[in-house]
Amino acid sequence: MKPEVLLSRIRVVLCRPSHPGNIGAAARAMKTMGLTDLRLVTPKQFPDPEADTRATGAVDLLQRAKITATLAEALHGCVFAVAMSARRRDLGPAVGSPRQTMARLLEAAASGEVALVFGNETVGLANEEVLQCQAAVTIPTDPGFSSLNLGAAVQVLCYECRMAAFDGAAPLPEQKATPFAALPATHDEIEGLYGHLESVMTETGFYNPQQPGRLLPKLRRLFGRVGLEKDEVNILRGILAATRQPTGHGRKD
């Protein structure tokens, strides 16, 4: 199944959100990662201009958001649901990491609609709500400050959904060919550079082949690491060649 289809099967359910700004931020976070199905369980204030402002280009998700009176309605028809939980519960599913748990969510999405359920900003999810989900997830935070913003939590989990949908290899923006596109230098071109460098250093007396020391290996280590391009080898050799010309005949730019 295509990653885009899997992502479209994920409902993001916000239970009793207090701040409309967070609803907007959640919509924007979802849309950047290819999720589109937002559900709101008794939001305190919605629709609201603050939600629209924070959503920026994701206002369409707010307009299509389904509002329900209970979590059960929001989960109707789902084959798998994950509760976001910042704290340990006595009852309820064991809490997993975002990476593992979103991988399970995407796997389940292959067989139907799934959901990612978030609680209220202050009190989180009620135990009865967590018990309606088959898995729970926590975002690892600093033990001294675990106060993740709701929109930020939605962003992190939607990001992991996208990563999971693409098997950890979500495509980066297309690297179109440009006049600057890098053509890597070949082995022999790079060896040519080393030879050129060595002869110039020898001629100038900077390098003494009788007492080689570690100079050449160090230069190889430096240029080896950088991943030289064709063009760069040409520039470097141009610089070297110019040092051997009678003054005034070097490159003039």
Q: Toward a copy of itself, which CB reaches closer, 69 or 226? A: 226
Q: Toward a copy of itself, which CB reaches closer, 122 or 247? A: 122
Residue 120: strand pairing partners: 124
* Least distance CB 100 / a copy of itself (angstroms): 10
Residue corresponding to tokens 């329900």: 68
Q: What token pair was written down for 249? A: 């005949």
* Least distance CB 93 / a copy of itself (angstroms): 11
* Least distance CB 169 / a copy of itself (angstroms): 8
Q: How far apart are CA 251 and CA 249, in angstroms?
A: 7
* Least distance CB 14 / a copy of itself (angstroms): 16
Residue 77: other Cβ atoms inside 10 A = 8
Q: Toward a copy of itself, which CB reaches closer, 20 or 98? A: 98
Q: What token pair was written down for 166? A: 């693409």
Q: How far apart are CA 47 and CA 55, in angstroms?
A: 12
Q: Toward a copy of itself, which CB reaches closer, 74 or 119? A: 119
Q: Which amino acid is at 94?
A: A
Q: Toward a copy of itself, which CB reaches closer, 46 or 159? A: 159
* Least distance CB 172 / a copy of itself (angstroms): 5
Residue 10: other Cβ atoms inside 10 A = 28
Q: Toward a copy of itself, which CB reaches closer, 60 or 203? A: 60
Q: Toward a copy of itself, which CB reaches closer, 74 or 158? A: 158
Binding residues for a copy of itself (CB under 8 A): 25, 28-29, 31-34, 54, 56-58, 86-88, 90-91, 94-99, 138-143, 145-149, 151-152, 155-156, 159, 162-163, 166, 168-176, 178-180, 182
* Least distance CB 211 / a copy of itself (angstroms): 31
Residue 37: strand pairing partners: 11
25 CB-near residues (< 8 Å, 6+ apart):
54, 55, 149, 150, 151, 152, 154, 155
151, with CB counted inside 10 A (0-12, 13-18, 19+), is: buried
Residue corresponding to tokens 């009176």: 69
* Least distance CB 179 / a copy of itself (angstroms): 7
